[in-house]
A and B are shown apart, each in its own frame.
Chain A
Amino acid sequence: SQQGEEDPQALSIQEGENATMNCSYKTSINNLQWYRQNSGRGLVHLILIRSNEREKHSGRLRVTLDTSKKSSSLLITASRAADTASYFCATETSGSRLTFGEGTQLTVNP
């Protein structure tokens, strides 16, 4: 079963707006990661947040983690058409294995 569940499944916004995606998971984690996938391509790592961290920034990305609620959010500020992609959260629970969510399809309209 999938550890991570993402919400919404699809999101359509205008260029310049902010995009927020949410991820919920079921068990305790070591860290949570966000990946991006352009259509027909492999996944690209965006950001990692450890279980003892609450917020992390990287450029236009902001990730939060609430371990008490077992949830995370990814915020993309000032979105661009080039941000159009699928975004996946992945949780690391033990060893070296990641469990991926089903993804959010983000469309940024010019």
Chain B
Amino acid sequence: NAGVTQTPKFRVLKTGQSMTLLCAQDMNHEYMYWYRQDPGMGLRLIHYSVGEGTTAKGEVPDGYNVSRLKKQNFLLGLESAAPSQTSVYFCASSRPTSVESNEQFFGPGTRLTVL
């Protein structure tokens, strides 16, 4: 059981370049999330998905797009990278067992630098 995996672990982009971050989970979780973590600001939700084929905006969605074509994968795309998108990106997944409980399982993160 690998849990939540993220690809790549590190990436350096030039302003204007595009890239896709891949998140995969093998726990059959319905819900998946993309966060960014900046120094002193905790984690902020970018986009999330409550099931295959569905996505929704989080707190800071601008400049990012996502897709959930398969239940186990959640892709985060940057169409035209900007230095403000330099951050550490975390993917998470969960399978709520009730209306309330929602423990999330996190991947190891992708460190992205935009020059």
**Footprint of B on A, CB under 8 Å?**
2, 4, 30-31, 33, 35, 40-45, 48, 50-51, 88, 92, 95-103
Which residues of chain B in 84-112 are interfacial with respect to chain A, using CB atoms and an 8 Å cutoff? 90, 92, 94, 96, 99-109
Known contacts A50-B100, A96-B48, A96-B50; is A45 also within 8 Å of B105 by CB?
yes
**Pairwise interchain contact B48-A42, C-beta atoms closer than 8 A:** no
Task: Name B49's closest neighbour in chain A (CB-CB).
Answer: A96
Asked whether any CB of chain A lies closer than 8 Å to the CB of B2, the reply is no
Which residues of chain A are near B94, meaning CB under 8 Å? 96
Which residues of chain A are near B99, meaning CB under 8 Å? 30
Which residues of chain A are near B108, meaning CB under 8 Å? 41-42
19 A-B pairs besides A35-B106, A42-B90 with CB distance below 8 A are A2-B41, A2-B42, A4-B42, A30-B99, A31-B101, A31-B102, A42-B4, A42-B109, A48-B101, A48-B103, A92-B100, A92-B102, A96-B31, A96-B94, A98-B104, A99-B45, A100-B42, A102-B40, A103-B42
**Pairwise interchain contact A96-B41, C-beta atoms closer than 8 A:** no
